Structure formats: structure tokens, C-alpha cells
Amino acid sequence: MKHFTVTFIPDNIQVQVTAGTTVLEAAQKAGLPLKSTCGGAGTCGRCIIKVRRGEVQVKGGHLPAKLKEEGYTLACQTIIQGDVAIEIPAESLLSKHQVLLQDKGRLQDGLTDLLGSYPLEAACEVVTLHLAEPTLTENTSDTSRLLTALRKEKGVEGQVSLALLQDLPESLRQAGWQVDVTLARADNRLLRVTPAGSGRNFGLAIDLGTTTVVVSLLDLRNGRRIGQGGSYNRQAVYGDDVISRIIHATSNHGGLEELRQAALATINEISNSLLANHGINQAEVTAAVIAGNTTMSHLLLGVNPKYIRLQPYIPAATEWPALTAGEIGLAINPLATVQVFPSVASYVGGDIVAGALFTRIAGGEELTLFIDIGTNGEMVLGNKDWLISCACSAGPAFEGSGITCGMRAMEGAVEGVTIDPETFEVELEVIGGGRPAGLCGSGLIDCLAKLRRAGIIDRTGNFHEVATPRLRLTDEGYEFVLAWAAESSHGKDIVITAADIKNLIRSKGAVFAGIQSLLKTVSLELEAVDRIIIAGGFGNYLHVPNAVEIGLLPDLPAEKYVFAGNTSLKGAELALLSRPAWQEALELGHKMTYLELSAGNLFMEEFVSALFLPHTQLELFPSVT
């Protein structure tokens, strides 16, 4: 088979590919993941590139005529047929540097004490053992010598695997019979034998998100966080959401393995770089805890996710067996223990259970509503006596997907919008302070609220014909210009279209309808909720009064809102450091009732009522005028 060289401009990164490879696949191979909301179907228009040199065949796809005239094509529709040079515009690239690792901390989270009342009792511990050297008369085997010493020291029956046994004779002798043994607390498996005093012990907490993956490296001896790293999930080239990933995994030969490897490569790349930065060997990392949604857990473990997508939406498992790093391919000590958070159902996953653990929603009497708005809207309501959860298909609009000028919360994203109600002039607040490139979730919420307040749109989201050049009619309907080409970072107008507004209203309506459905199912009113926890990066820039004004969040006093950041990662850290916390996570998984919103009419009725700014029942939003 013929091989061609693809050179990516401007970084001059080269890869070899075979004939028939698409530019999207080549870019992925080169470590340059492109935005690909539709997973390569040619419909989202996010993967635009320019062929600078060489022979390609362009299949088609949905690309505006103006971009075609300017020489752009879609990477997923451009097939390489010779040595080529490809230019990737910055806005087509998913940059790993854009992953938000730290919570912005703009709002008090009140949840900073990770362990709280949980004891520091990590998944593994290091035990120092002083063994007697064997003699002709005291000649038991190396293994029984080691296990006897362990029994005396800890009172436990250690388990020795073949992999550990293979190196044991040399390990003991080189250490002069004075050894540190790393022991898995769950089953007393011996994970490592090193000379006494050298047994460092590290663990990874992993938030395996559909979009981003964040890894925390912790010292298991003292619970200290050593470092964090994050990147886009390499699965992104197979589509933005879990449904397109499931379709790729189940309708392409080898698709599931491709997705498994992509997730694994993402985690391993982040953890390898963390370990290298901190002078830690892979062998020294003996535990990992992973929190991901149900689909991500299936894909990482290579489990067929097909029935998650099909009615009645049944996952292969909600609890996972105890695993080792070697079994799943994590690039740490192959004997390391790996715990994957349990899920509740197909669309309420381990990330939500981890969040519930970290935020202690089952810890007291107060009624808590936990909301994670990401690619989906997942929520849990309850207290120490009961918990009920649901997932609504809010769509990824608040993550910037499916919105003409939408983008993630990163540098260049508009996070705040002000519109003068007289002149309709616009002021934008941009993350990082530079020129705007697009709107992230909080910017979109702000924009919707301000458009309505300025009388540019009505309560149904339709444009009023106000007199400003910013409002213009295109072939696709009205759009409002938020930033002119000369003001933006990419030299193109930043607009919000009538279709974007409808899309956002549907998304916010779905989230609010989910909240109402949970409350109505347990016969409670909004006022009964004592605190609302907003999880995920979305909360970092969110302005609650605007979210209330558009009817996304309930009209409750601001002091009831708590922003908890990446609760999936924090829950994984907590479970890694404390076995009692992990036990509680398992119990939480069982305790949470799942409300399937598509099973009755309740959600649909609530959804239809919520397709209004803020809502058809204005009495639900007394503070919105």
C-alpha cells in the first residue's frame, strides 16, 4: 500500500499515512486533534482546513459557499492521495492547553476540604518488613518468608501474583532482606517489593470526561496532590457526544477498540507527562481511581456500549470488577489496583456518583439539588434518606457545540455580554482579556438574557425588528452581530442567530424541565431545596442571575447556590485517598433511584412549558421582570 507524507502547517508536523486516509484521521495521528462535532459525518462544519499543496479528493460535506470560495475544505471529507501540505486554522484545532484545570474560584465553594471526616486510608499502603536471611536450617521459600513477616507485622494474609513472584528472589536479595512492600488494602495483594526506605507510593485520580480528561497525581502516603494535567479526550475525532461515540464503536469494525485506545492514549499521555515532570517512575504508581460517565467507562474497558443507546437504555454493567492497570493498559505499575466508579444508569454515570460523594449530598438532612451541565444535563436530588437522579438531553449548546459562534470556556471566549437598550451597542467580556473568538456557555446565557432585556428578542426567542445594523437578515434567518470582523481574533463577525437562540432555549428548557420532573416525582416544590450545587467547568464563569433570567436555573436566593468545580475529579481523589469514601461511593450507586424521563409525559409537559424566556409560568420566576 502506498504511503504519503502529510505536513501540517504552521507547525510543520509530519506524519505518514496510507492512501485513502482523511485529513481528519491524519491530524489525529499527528497529535493535532481537530474539532469534529459530527464525528466526521461532514455535517458540523467544524473541521475546516486548507490544502496548501498536493493531491486530495474532496467528497463534499456541508461547508458554507463563502468558505469554499476561500479555498477551505472539511478535513473529514478530504481524502489524501499524495504528499500534501495542510494548513489548520487555529479555530479548527482542539488545543490541550485550553483544558481548564483549575476552578476559577470566583465564587465561594465552601467545599475545599477534600477528606473532611473521612480518614486518610489510601487504596494501597507501604509496609516495611525486616526478613531474616535464609540459612541451611531455616530454609523456607522466599514467598513464605515474606508472607510470614507480613502476617507478623500487619496480621494479614498477603496474596502474591505470578508477575511479582517472577522477580521476587532478586528483589529480596538485592534489598538485603530489608524491604518495603506495597500492599493493596482491598485484597492484600502485594504490588511491589523494593529496598526498605525506597517504597514511594503514588496514585492517579482520573476524570474521564466525554470532552476532556483530567488526571491528578497524589502521594498516597500523605494525601498531598502533586500535580494535575488535562487534555482533550482523543475520542473527540469520533464525535462530540456519547451517542456518536457509541455509533462509531458499534457500527464500525474495530471501532470499539479505536475508542478504547483513544481514551487510554489520552490518559497515558497526561500521566506520563505528570510523572516525568515530578521524577516519578510508572512502577511507583500503584493505584488509580477513574470516574467517567457510563459510556466512557464502557469504552475505556472495551465493553460493548450498544444497548446504552437503544430503548430501554440498558448498560452492560453499573458496577465494575476490581481491575489492574495491566489488564486495561494504563501506563503505571501493571499490578496497580484500578477502581472505576459505579454508575446509576445509562445516563447517570460514575462521574455523577463521584460528584455526589465529594459534595456529601447524602451526608445530612438538607435537601440538595446537584446539577452537572455538560454535554448532557445530569442531576440528583435528595439528602441522607433518599436520592433520585435523572439525565436530560440538554444537548451540548452550553458547551458551545451546535452554536454558530460557540466555543468552550477558554481564552478568547466571550463570558459576559452587555447590550445598550437604546443604541444596541455591545460590550463583551472576554476570558483572558484579548479579542473575542466566540461565545462559551456563560457568554451565551448572558447574551440571551441581555438580548431579551434590550428588547431585541421576545419571550419566545424571536427577533424584534430593531433599528441597528447589528441585526441582519441572511438566507438562514435573522442574526445579531456581537462583534464585527475587525474586532474579533479571527477576522470574522461573531454572531448569534435565530437558530442558535432556539437551540439554547431548548437546552435550558430541558435542564429546567429535568429539575421540575425530579421535584414533582417526589411531590416537592422548588422552595424546599436548601442548596443547589453546580458541578463542572460550566459553573466557573456562570452568572446565576442571568441563568435564572433565561429560566435555566430556579429562581432561588443566590446564597443557596454553591459552585463545586470538577466534582468528578474531586470525588475520584477522595475515593483514592480513603477506602471508607470508596465504600460510600459503592453504596451511593445503589442508593440513587433513577428517573427515566422518557418513560412518561411529565418531562415532555415540563419541557414544553419551559420553552419560553424564562418560562410560561412566570410565577416560577418572581424576580424576573
Task: Indicate the residue among 36 and 368 with the shorter CB distance to ligand FES.
Answer: 36
From residue 620, give the alpha-carbon distance in Å to each of 302, 510, 613: 45, 16, 12
Nearer to ligand FES, 61 or 536 (CB): 61
Task: Report the nearest approach of ligand FES to the CB of residue 239 (Å).
Answer: 8
At residue 238, the 3 state secondary structure works out as: helix
User: Which residue carries 411531590 as its cell?
Assistant: 523
Smallest gap from Cβ 449 to ligand FES, in A, equals 30
| Residue 493 Cβ vs ligand FES, minimum distance, rounded to whole Å | 21
Nearer to ligand FES, 46 or 470 (CB): 46
Q: How far is the CB of 4 from ligand FES (least distance, A)?
A: 20
CB of 35 to ligand FES, least distance (A): 7
DSSP string, 537-572: GGGGT--HHHHHHTTSS----GGGEEEEE-HHHHHH
Q: What is the largest CA-CA distance in the chain?
A: 101
464 with 420: CB under 8 angstroms? no
Residue type, 98: Q
Task: State the nearest-atom distance from the C-beta of 46 to ligand FES, in Å.
Answer: 5
- For residues 38 and 129, which CB has a smaller minimum distance to ligand FES in the complex? 38
Report the run of H or E that residue 200 belongs to, with start and end.
Answer: none
Residue 588 phi, psi dihedral angles, 5° rounding: -60, -40
- Closer residue to ligand FES, CB minimum distance, 64 or 197: 64
Comparison of 94 and 348: residue with beta carbon closer to ligand FES: 94
Between 93 and 553, name the residue whose CB sits nearer to ligand FES: 93
C-alpha cell at 169: 528472589
Shortest Å distance, C-beta 215 to ligand FES: 26
The least CB distance from residue 302 to ligand FES, in Å, is 25
Q: What DSSP letter does each residue of 27-81 carry, written as one string?
A: HHHTT-PBP-TTSSSS-S---EEEEEES-EEE------HHHHHTTEEEGGGEEE-
In whole angstroms, the minimum distance from the beta carbon of 334 to ligand FES comes to 36
Closer by beta carbon to ligand FES, 35 or else 96: 35
Instruction: Check residue 457 and report its DSSP letter.
Output: B
Nearer to ligand FES, 244 or 368 (CB): 244
> Closest distance between ligand FES and the C-beta of residue 496, in Å?
21
- Name the strand (E) or helix (H) holding 470: none
How far apart are CB 22 and ligand FES at their closest, in Å?
9
Which sign does the torsion angle of CA 399, 403, 408, 410 carry? Answer: negative
- What 242-246 contacts at long range (C-beta under 8 Å, 24+ apart), as own/partner pairs, is 242/210, 242/293, 242/295, 242/296, 242/308, 242/375, 242/376, 243/309, 244/38, 244/39, 245/39, 245/210, 245/295, 245/299, 245/305, 246/295, 246/305, 246/306, 246/308, 246/309
> 343: which DSSP letter?
P
Nearer to ligand FES, 38 or 380 (CB): 38
According to the 3-state scheme, what is the secondary structure of 139-190? CCCHHHHHHHHHHHHHCCCCECCHHHHHHHHHHHHHCCCEEEEEEECCCCEE
DSSP state for residue 413 in the 8-state scheme: E
Cβ closer to ligand FES: 77 or 297?
77
Contacts with ligand FES, residue ranges (CB under 6 A): 36-38, 40, 42-47, 61, 74-76
Q: Edge to edge, what strands does the sheet with 323-324 contain? A: 224-232, 212-219, 202-208, 285-292, 337-340, 323-324
Structural contact between residues 426 and 418, judged by C-beta atoms closer than 8 angstroms: yes
